[in-house]
Amino acid sequence: MMTAMTDTSPQPAPDGRDEAERKRRLRQRNLIVLALLIAWVALIYLVAIVRMGAQ
C-alpha cells in the first residue's frame, strides 16, 4: 500500500505550459499571502489603537 506522501517514483517532467502555469499560480499565491499579511498587520494595529483608546 502506497500513500501519496510515500510515493517517491519519478514524476514526468513538466512541459513548458505546465511550468508557466505553475509560475503564474505561485505568483498569484504569493501576492495573496502578501495581501493577507498586510491586512493582518493592519488589523492588529487598528485593534491595538482601539484598545489603547479605551483604557
Partner 1 sequence: MSDVTMDSSMTARGASWRDYYELLKPRVMTLVVFTAIAGMMAAPGAIHPAVAVAAILCVTIGAGAAGAINMWFERDIDAVMARTAARPTVQGRVEPAEALTFGVFLSVASVMTMALLVGWVAGALLALANLFYVFVYTIWLKRRTPQNIVIGGAAGAFPPMIGWAAVTGDVTVVPILYFLLIFLWTPPHFWALALYRRPEYDKAGVPMLPVVAGERATKLQMLLYTVALLPVSVAPPLLGVGGWLTVGGGLVLGLLFVICAWRVWQEDGAATGHKAAKLMFGYSIFYLFALFGLIAVDGGATGLGL
Side-chain-facing half-sphere of 33: CA atoms under 13 Å: 6
Interface pick for partner 1 out of 34, 38, 41, 44 (rule CB under 8 A): 44
Residue listed under C-alpha cell 502555469: 21
Q: CA 42, CA 8: separation in Å to the nearest integer?
A: 42
Beta-carbon contacts of 22 under 8 Å, excluding residues fewer than 6 positions away, are: 14
Q: Which is nearer to partner 1, 38 or 44 (CB)?
A: 44
CB of 10 to partner 1, least distance (A): 10
Q: Which stretches of the chain bind partner 1, using CB under 8 A?
A: 1-5, 7, 11-12, 14, 18-19, 21-22, 25-26, 28-29, 32, 40, 43-44, 46-48, 50-51, 54
